[in-house]
Structure 1
Amino acid sequence: MDFPLITDWQFYAVSIPAVLLLGLSKSGFGAGFGSLAVPIMALSVTVPQAAAILMPILFVMDMLGLAAYRKEFDRKLLKFLLPMGLLGTVIGTLLFRTLDPRFVAGLVGVFTLLFLAQRVLFPPKADSPPPPRWWGAILTTTSGFTSFVAHAGGPPISAYVLPLKLAPITFAATMSVFFTVMNLSKWAPYAWLGLLDMRNMATSIALLPLAPVGVLAGVRMARRIQPWLFFRLVHIGMFLTGCKLVYDGFIK
């Protein structure tokens, strides 16, 4: 009988930094970096297996994020974002077995880089109006979908929320609550799809002690960092994510 735990050292060599990056993202501080977790882990296991292994870790990180930001999220904005994100979860559930996760990851990467190029080449003016709601609905639904398929929901929703010019702490808190709800909505579909097996769950438990490290570090930085530096680091995270996802989806 095989021991129900991945024991390959190469898996942990890529999974440990992936979990730490995910923790940084779950604090809301490194919103772009979290989407790198599954692609990095996919160097050793399949994308669906990496996504399943991260589920219990995400739950712990989400609870830590909620505890840190329980009073600072934008309630009105979340009332708009959450139904669209949950629609994306439903779409992801229905299409999961028919779509190649690598292709989806590649598309997310392309749109992430296009958004960043637009922000750099044509930066918004101080008096620029917020993005239209219909565009926000599309991006947020896309975020729910890509979050379900590969835990890569950060770039699409950031493309909508960043131009709203929230304070860093409000941005971090709102993203924390949004992805907590998205991740909770994945449990039943993941179980139905057969992804939450004993081997994946045992491996997740082995990685679980790393969960608080990145989250707590990110919370501390989000509370102390200057707004211009905060959003610059978010953009760097999105750039790295976009490049990695494009490489995995269309080049590798």
Structure 2
Amino acid sequence: MTPAELILVAACLAAGGILKGATGAGAPVLAIPAMAAIFDVKFAVVVMVVPNLLTNLFQAWRFRRERPPGAFVWLFAVAGAIGAALGTWILAVLDPETLSLIVAVSVLGYVGFRLARPDWRIPLGLGKKLGVPAGIAAGMLQGASGISAPISISYLNALGLERRTFIATISIFFTVMSAGQIPALSSLGIVTGHSLLLSLAALVPVLAFMPIGSKIAERLSPKVFDRVILVLLAGLAAKLLADALL
């Protein structure tokens, strides 16, 4: 990796850290499309493995008292881990162009849904019954593309969870899913000792810029910040589409 590429990767991770600090979730949503647009999806997924696991483990512990009661969160999380293992196999067998298309379409679908139905809600009782299929689907998307947000975040948003409860739930989901994804990636030869060290180093810019995201969120209205991120994501997805199709 050249110095210029190293700087670009660090910038992508820093941007993901800012989003994580501002919203409590979503570092891969920004960092993976950005890195995939520069390198490829497999590289981006591997780099985000350790930051995903450790930052969400920290948030899961920090907001542990806000976790919804009952088995819902754990069923959702374990289903996500199962789906991630299936998605990791897809990551191993598909070519980079197809993976880029999956990421691009997933991100555009997420952006489009957020713009079209910002206030859409699922009744909580029905939503809990949908936890396992939603977790498997989100996990498969995470394993194949490194991004589960089009399903996982949209699903939890639709339940209308309070912010701290949302962070507690999504953090447990990401933690369990990431913990299950690392052995799957290793068994397929996608993650090696060297790449794990690279992923551990990637934790530094993510953690360093999370407090900046928190400060930005305090100064901007949630609606303005959300729209800025959606525009940026749409631009990244458009680049991935162009790279894959042209």
TM-score if structure 2 supplies the norm length? Answer: 0.78
Alpha-carbon offset, residue 82 of structure 1 = 1.6
**Structure 1 pair 160–184 and aligned structure 2 pair: CA distance change class (3 A):** same
Partner of 1:64: 58
Partner of 2:11: 17
1:172 partnered with 2:171 = no
Partner of 1:204: 199
Cα distance in 1 for residues equivalent to 2:79 and 2:229: 24
Cα distance in 2 for residues equivalent to 1:28 and 1:148: 25
Cα distance in 2 for residues equivalent to 1:113 and 1:179: 20
Cα distance in 2 for residues equivalent to 1:176 and 1:188: 19
Letter in 1 for 2:148: G
Alignment check: 8 A CA contact 1:64 1:212 kept: no
RMSD: 3.2
Alignment check: 8 A CA contact 1:60 1:211 kept: no
The 5 Å alignment of 1:95-134 reads: 95-99=90-94, 100-119=98-117, 123-124=119-120, 129=123, 132-133=126-127
Write the deviation string for residues 173-207 of structure 1: whole angstroms up to 9, x where unpaired: 22112111111111101101212224423433443
Write the deviation string for residues 87-107 of structure 1: whole angstroms up to 9, x where unpaired: 321321332233331121123
**Structure 1 pair 103–43 and aligned structure 2 pair: CA distance change class (3 A):** closer
Cα distance in 2 for residues equivalent to 1:68 and 1:201: 25
- Secondary structure class of the residue paired with 1:96: helix
Alignment check: 8 A CA contact 1:24 1:34 kept: no
Letter in 1 for 2:209: G
**Structure 1 pair 239–104 and aligned structure 2 pair: CA distance change class (3 A):** same
Partner of 1:52: 46
- Secondary structure class of the residue paired with 1:74: coil
1:187 to 175, 182, 191: 182
Cα distance in 1 for residues equivalent to 2:73 and 2:232: 27
Gap runs ≥5 in structure 1: 1-5
Gap runs ≥5 in structure 2: none
Alignment check: 8 A CA contact 1:72 1:173 kept: yes
Partner of 1:3: none
Farther off after superposition, 212-221 or 180-189? 212-221
**Structure 1 pair 163–63 and aligned structure 2 pair: CA distance change class (3 A):** closer
**Structure 1 pair 82–60 and aligned structure 2 pair: CA distance change class (3 A):** closer
Alpha-carbon offset, residue 10 of structure 1 = 2.0
Alignment check: 8 A CA contact 2:22 2:216 kept: no
**Structure 1 pair 136–51 and aligned structure 2 pair: CA distance change class (3 A):** same
1:251 partnered with 2:242 = yes
**Structure 1 pair 187–112 and aligned structure 2 pair: CA distance change class (3 A):** same
Q: State the identity as a percent.
A: 19
Letter in 2 for 1:78: V
Write the deviation string for residues 138-163 of structure 1: whole angstroms up to 9, x where unpaired: 54333212222232112321211112
Write the deviation string for residues 190-234 of structure 1: whole angstroms up to 9, x where unpaired: 101212224423433443332422344556778x799xx446644
Alignment check: 8 A CA contact 1:84 1:137 kept: yes
The 5 Å alignment of 1:67-106 reads: 67-76=61-70, 77-99=72-94, 100-106=98-104
Alignment check: 8 A CA contact 2:90 2:143 kept: no
Farther off after superposition, 178-187 or 35-44? 35-44
The 5 Å alignment of 1:34-53 reads: 34-53=28-47
The 5 Å alignment of 1:231-246 reads: 233-234=225-226, 236-246=228-238
Alignment check: 8 A CA contact 1:25 1:33 kept: yes
Farther off after superposition, 37-46 or 71-80? 71-80
